[in-house]
Amino acid sequence: MKNCSKTNKRTADRVASVMYTVALFVLILTVSVALPIYFRPFYYLHVDALELDFSSGYSKAEVFTAYNGLMDYLTMPWEEFSVGKMAFSAEGQAHFADCRVLIVINSILLTVAAVGAAVLKVLSKKGRVKLLGFGRFPCGFWAGAAALAAVLIVGTAVAIDFDAAFEFFHKSFFTNQNWVFDWRTDEVILILPWRFFRNCAVLILSSITLLSTVAVTLGVIKRKRSKL
């Protein structure tokens, strides 16, 4: 009976360890993806750097109004679609509606991962479960290692051919061609050039790399301490 209880406890600990590792991995990815979405000053820096007012034919104030209106729509479900004075088509609006769904999904995953990781950590502190790790390395190490592997794969693809990677992303996540914009009918694309999206990709990959490196480093330190 005791052996059966120990086996069940061991199984529960293993399941908790897998869940904790996955939660940390998802958290690293979703937090990084959220950065260029919610940290609007990142875009503001591009207005002058890329001379978006000049290239779009709109004033800086109108560029900011259009961008903020669009981001309000994408990140706040109660907001109506708006790009200020800029022209837009039904197809363009439909694409941003699809984008909003993806952003909501990312936010849900981020929240679930954060709450799940926090709950498992608290249960571990209280002795309810034991986060065993794998191969003598803690869960955080493997979450960071997996995220670094993802960065290596995606980063290599982006570095080789950003346009092809950009197209592959859209074809993977969107079932239509609404993401192919005509600036004459959807002027907002004039203030969202490919260089901005490239820099968003760089920011996301850099954030994942930083968070993953911290997780792996802490995992190595914890491993070394456990051997003392």
Domain range summary for the chain, segments of one domain joined by +: 2-227
Whole-angstrom distance, CA of residue 21 vs CA of residue 188: 40
- Residue range 93-119: mean pLDDT, rounded: 95
What pLDDT is attached to residue 114?
97
Q: Using the predicted structure, report yes or no on whether residue 1 has a pLDDT greater than 70.
A: no
Residue 7: pLDDT band with limits 50, 70, 90: low
Helix, strand, coil shares, percent, the chain, to 5: 75, 0, 20
What pLDDT is attached to residue 4?
56
* pLDDT, mean over the chain: 90
Q: Phi and psi (nearest 5°) for 77?
A: -55, -25
Residue pair 52/190 in contact by the 8 Å Cβ criterion:
yes
Question: For the whole model, what pTM was predicted?
Answer: 0.90
Residue pair 56/193 in contact by the 8 Å Cβ criterion:
no
- Residue range 60-78: mean pLDDT, rounded: 95
Q: Using the predicted structure, report yes or no on whether residue 21 has a pLDDT greater than 90.
A: yes
Residue pair 71/165 in contact by the 8 Å Cβ criterion:
no
Residue 204: pLDDT band with limits 50, 70, 90: very high
Q: 108: part of which helix (H) or strand (E)?
A: helix 90-125
Residue 170: pLDDT band with limits 50, 70, 90: confident
154: Cβ–Cβ under 8 A, 6 or more apart, which residues? Answer: 165, 205
Residue pair 151/34 in contact by the 8 Å Cβ criterion:
no
81: Cβ–Cβ under 8 A, 6 or more apart, which residues? Answer: 70, 73, 88, 93, 96, 97
What pLDDT is attached to residue 168?
86
